């Protein structure tokens, strides 16, 4: 089932489940945030500039939604009634991308162009922590089971870990040029990630052990990943017009999307237990497991 949320040039990118039981999306090309109910009702909210590039969105500890603004280097916040505000990152041209609520009551985010991880409090105070990389392109970030944040280093071919004090560890991937992007905490308390360059799904335990699982189609360009409520993870195959599921033992099942060339990006498990996928064509697809 698919629901139109915008015109085909708006670019639905990331999706998350909000505290109000609705789905919230970023429209990266339109500079807007959208809200979608499970019945298909849509509301959209313009940001202060149409070219700010809203990317990843996540619920915050303050019952608002927080998101990165990749193009104008700001962190955005939207309340459930659609009121928005934003905060500039201290480092110019930082390119914030991934974002997640941390174990310390703050939001943590990646700065793709600055080799830094950022932290913002709910009142807008930002701190930045440098990474031991040069051009590492930190991308997605998630909260781990160990009260630390785990993130992908897309161009450094590694997975990083940062604790709330700013201490960083980096784990190199076995496959060269794997290009990790999305990452999530699995139901097995390991971190699961996708390798867009290698066509693989990866798993890293909190002690740094890494396993990799090749997809049937290595050119599928896996992009985002989210934990399934029961077992394993769901992921998008941006280059193959599919979503996939990987079990905790590495078994992979794939599902074709109904609209050709829809370019699936972010995905989330909705309040109805379905998997919701943001499609570049301006739609959201709901697929029941």
Residues designated as active site: 265
> Terminal CA-to-CA distance of the chain, rounded, Å?
13
H/E stretch holding 275 reads strand 275-279
Distance CA 111, CA 139 (A): 8
The owner of tokens 């039981």 is 21
Is 263 assigned to a binding site?
yes
Q: With CA atoms as reference, report the closest residue to 278 among 11, 95, 31.
A: 11
Contact yes or no for 267/286 (Cβ under 8 A): no
Contact 233, 215 (CB under 8 A): no
**Dist CA 11 CA 91 (whole Å):** 27
Is 2 assigned a ligand-binding role in the annotation? no
CB 196 within 8 A of CB 222: yes
212 is in an annotated binding site: no
For residues 15, 224, 118, 153, the Cα torsion angle rounded to the nearest 10 degrees is: -170
Place of tokens 């290595």: 218
Residue 122 CB: number of other CB atoms within 10 A? 16
Of 203, 285, 281, 182, nearest to 247 by C-alpha is 203
Picking from 14, 21, 34, the residue whose alpha carbon sits closest to that of residue 225 is 14
- In angstroms, the CA 68 to CA 52 distance is 9
Binding-site positions for substrate read 223
Residues comprising the binding site for Mg(2+)? 263, 280
Binding-site residue set: 223, 263, 280
């Amino acid at each position: 089932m698919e629901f139109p949320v915008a015109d085909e040039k708006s670019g639905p990118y990331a999706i998350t489940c909000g505290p109000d039981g609705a789905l919230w999306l970023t429209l990266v090309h339109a500079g807007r945030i959208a809200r979608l109910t499970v019945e298909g009702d849509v509301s959209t909210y313009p940001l202060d500039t149409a070219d700010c590039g809203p990317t990843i969105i996540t619920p915050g500890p303050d019952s608002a939604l927080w998101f990165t603004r990749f193009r104008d280097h700001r962190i955005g916040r939207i309340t459930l009634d659609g009121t928005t505000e934003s905060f500039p990152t201290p480092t110019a041209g930082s390119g914030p991308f991934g974002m997640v609520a941390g174990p310390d009551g703050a939001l943590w985010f990646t700065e793709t162009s600055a080799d830094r991880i950022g932290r913002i409090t709910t009142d807008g105070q930002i701190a930045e922590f440098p990474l031991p990389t040069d051009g590492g392109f930190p991308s997605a970030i998630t909260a781990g089971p160990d009260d630390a944040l785990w993130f992908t280093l897309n161009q450094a071919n590694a997975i990083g870990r940062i604790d709330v004090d700013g201490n960083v560890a980096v784990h190199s991937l076995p496959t060269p040029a794997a290009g990790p992007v999305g990452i999530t905490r699995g139901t097995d308390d390991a971190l699961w990630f996708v390798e867009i360059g290698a066509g693989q799904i990866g798993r890293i335990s909190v002690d740094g052990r890494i396993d990799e699982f090749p997809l049937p189609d290595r050119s599928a360009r896996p992009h985002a990943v989210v934990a399934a409520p029961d077992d394993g993870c769901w992921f998008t195959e941006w280059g193959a017009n599919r979503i996939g599921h990987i079990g905790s033992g590495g078994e992979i099942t794939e599902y074709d999307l109904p609209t050709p060339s829809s370019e699936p990006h972010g995905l989330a498990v909705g309040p109805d237990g379905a998997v919701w996928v943001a499609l570049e064509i301006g739609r959201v697809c709901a697929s029941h497991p």
